[in-house]
């Protein structure tokens, strides 16, 4: 059985670089890209909007499309296949809850610029939290 690598992604350059790193450095691994939606914010905008949808899973999948499109473009450039999975809620918690199913986590040093201040204020720095609490090795890509 080959190794399994989890690559959490948002729409940041660091996340794209993390996926490129994982594809380059784990050529035999099965790569899974995780995108988490419904992130809590100071005004609860995204989380509240998602909660008000008739079909939360469908709405979450729709909100993940642009990130997954970018992930597939990166994988296609390297002739690789990837799996995708959508998480809902707190990014660090989603990553940590899935960690035991993977051999390593590869993530970008920073998330999307538009939410950095909000994320630090409410939910803390995802990379810092995951690197401190993960039960598997964590590779941080700058």
The CATH H-level superfamily of 4-122 is HUPs (3.40.50.620)
- Residue among 93, 114, 96 at smallest CA distance from 11: 114
Is pLDDT at 124 greater than 60 in this prediction? no
Percent of the chain with pLDDT over 90: 61
Over the stretch 77-108, which tens digit does the pLDDT of each residue have? Answer: 999 999 999 998 889 999 999 999 999 999 99
Task: Measure the CA–CA gap between 90 and 99, rounded to whole angstroms.
Answer: 14
Q: Is 72 exposed, middle or buried (0-12, 13-18, 19+ CB in 10 A)?
A: middle
Closest to 107 (Cα-Cα) out of 142, 74, 84, 140? 140
Instruction: Give the residue from 74, 118, 77, 99 showing the smallest Cα distance to 8.
Output: 99
49 pLDDT band, cuts 50/70/90, is low
Tens of pLDDT, residues 53-63: 557 778 778 88
pLDDT of residue 50 exceeding 60, the answer is no
pLDDT in the model for residue 62:
87
């Amino acid at each position: 059985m080959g190794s399994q690598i989890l690559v959490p992604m948002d729409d940041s350059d660091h996340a794209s670089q993390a996926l490129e790193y994982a594809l380059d450095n784990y050529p035999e691994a099965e790569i899974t890209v995780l995108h988490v939606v419904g992130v809590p914010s100071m005004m609860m905008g995204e989380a509240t909007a998602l909660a008000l949808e008739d079909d939360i899973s469908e709405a979450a999948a729709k909100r993940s499309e642009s990130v997954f499109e970018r992930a597939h473009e990166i994988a296609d450039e390297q002739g690789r296949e990837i799996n995708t999975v959508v998480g809902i809620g707190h990014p660090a918690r989603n990553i940590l809850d899935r960690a035991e199913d993977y051999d390593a986590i590869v993530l970008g040093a920073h998330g999307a610029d538009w939410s950095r201040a909000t994320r630090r204020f409410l939910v803390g720095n995802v990379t810092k939290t995951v690197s401190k609490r993960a039960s598997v090795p964590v590779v941080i890509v700058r």
